[in-house]
Amino acid sequence: MKAKDLRERSQDDLKELEKSLAKDTFTARFKNFTNRLDDTSTINKTKRDLARVKTLLRQAELNAAPSAVPAVEAKAAAAPKAKSAKKTVAKKASKSEAK
C-alpha cells in the first residue's frame, strides 16, 4: 500500500485497517514459526503497512489537537529549571554549614 492511497481513506477505515494488519502480521509470524508460510517477505510488508497506517493516524491526532503540544513543551522546559534551583539552594545551604 502506498501512503498516498492511505491518506484518501477516512479515520474509521484506517482504524479498521490497522486492526486487520495487526492480525495479518500476527498470523504471518505464527505461520512462519510453524513452517507453513511460503513467502516470508509478507511479514515485513504487513509490518511496514501497519506502520504507515499508525503514522497517518498519529498525524491526524496531532493535527486535531495542536494546542496540547505547547503545554507539554512548557512543562518540559520548566522541569530543568526547578532542578537547578534545588541545586542552588542545596549549594548555599552546604556553604553556610561549612562556615
Domain coordinates of the chain in residue numbers?
A: 1-64, 69-99
The set of cell numbers assigned to 62 is 496531532
- What confidence score (pLDDT) does residue 1 get? 80
For the domain spanning 1-64, the CATH number is 1.10.287.310
For the chain, list residues with pLDDT below 70: 66-99
Please check whether residue 21 is in contact with residue 49, taking contact to mean a CB–CB distance below 8 angstroms: yes
- What confidence score (pLDDT) does residue 5 get? 93
Q: Residues near 59 by Cβ (< 8 Å), separated by ≥ 6?
A: none
- What confidence score (pLDDT) does residue 91 get? 64
Q: Is the pTM of this model over 0.85?
A: no
- What confidence score (pLDDT) does residue 35 get? 95
Rounded distance, CA 21 to CA 49, Å? Answer: 7
- What confidence score (pLDDT) does residue 65 get? 83
